[in-house]
């Protein structure tokens, strides 16, 4: 394993499960120092235990934090940056997936998805930007989804948040480019996680599953593990991705040619 993150300081949200946890492990493996944020305390404990088993616990600190809460984010990210002594990379992997018939979707559900996925990404990024700018070569990796560009039935609200994240990523990539900062969105699809297991996204009981035929990957034998996304995130956040900014990278095994 290469040491592309030796001496680099990284904050990762959604660190308590799935792709966020995989990103924590990958960047630790490559020599980075990480603060992992998540609302799920039990999940963070499991991430820390796994890191300890790999002998990497000295370079990981975890913080329980709700990214949709402005006060928690301002305090938590500020403390994380001070503890790290600066910041080189922010990975906004935290998010939730919920499904419903759009004509039956409640405003509370819509607002919850916006609050966590879109507003949460904004709040954490805003709090981290001063340190990323000061770094001189800061990187923001945001998590969009293939649902932002391709039809995923019953997921209109989720798709809207991910489309917003893509637009947000393009905007900040331009705004801070002269300060040496890069911003890239990844758009996973057909990836195994707590969100996607079985009827994990809470599909309606009468969901027409034939609408999902087009959501099968073209390569491999089904959904891939979160590590496949983490490896791309590590490349984009490292100097190997130094000429990539203001765009999104789709990671879906050819589900959407």
Give the integer Cα–Cα distance in Å for 175 and 239.
Answer: 20
Catalytic residue among 154, 158, 176, 257: 158
First to last CA, the chain: 31
Q: Can you give the length of the chain in residues?
A: 257
Q: How far is CA 189 from the centre of its chain?
A: 13
Question: Are the beta carbons of 95 and 143 closer than 8 angstroms?
Answer: yes
Active site residue 158: yes
Token pair of 70 as six digits = 């402005």
| Token couple for 48 | 């820390």
101: which residues sit within 8 A by CB, 6+ positions away? 154, 204
Residue 251 φ then ψ, to 5° = -130, 90
Provide the token pair at 208. Answer: 């027409």
Alpha helices in the chain (DSSP H): 18-29, 41-53, 70-84, 107-113, 120-135, 156-175, 227-237
Q: Which residues are catalytic?
A: 158
């Amino acid at each position: 394993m290469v040491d592309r993150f030796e001496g680099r300081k990284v904050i990762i949200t959604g660190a308590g499960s799935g792709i966020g946890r995989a990103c924590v492990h990958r960047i630790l493996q490559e020599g980075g120092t990480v603060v992992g944020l998540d609302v799920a305390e039990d999940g963070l404990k499991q991430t820390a235990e796994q890191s300890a088993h790999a002998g990497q616990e000295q370079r990981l600190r975890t913080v329980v934090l709700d990214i949709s809460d402005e006060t928690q984010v301002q305090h938590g990210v500020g403390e994380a940056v001070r503890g790290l002594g600066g910041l080189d990379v922010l990975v906004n992997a935290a998010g939730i997936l919920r499904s419903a018939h759009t004509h039956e979707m409640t405003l509370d559900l819509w607002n919850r998805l916006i609050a966590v996925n879109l507003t949460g990404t904004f709040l954490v990024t805003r709090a981290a930007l001063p340190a990323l700018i000061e770094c001189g070569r800061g990187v923001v990796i945001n998590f969009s989804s293939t649902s932002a560009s391709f039809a995923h039935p019953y997921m209109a609200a989720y798709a809207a948040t991910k489309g917003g994240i893509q637009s947000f990523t393009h905007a900040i990539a331009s705004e801070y480019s002269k300060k040496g900062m890069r911003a890239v969105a990844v758009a996973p699809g057909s990836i195994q996680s707590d969100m996607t297991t079985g009827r994990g996204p809470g599909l309606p009981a009468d969901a027409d599953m034939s609408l999902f035929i087009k959501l099968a990957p073209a390569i491999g034998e089904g959904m891939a593990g979160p590590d496949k996304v983490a490896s791309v995130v590590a490349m984009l956040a490292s100097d190997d991705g130094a000429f990539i900014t203001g765009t999104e990278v789709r990671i879906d095994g050819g589900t959407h040619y």
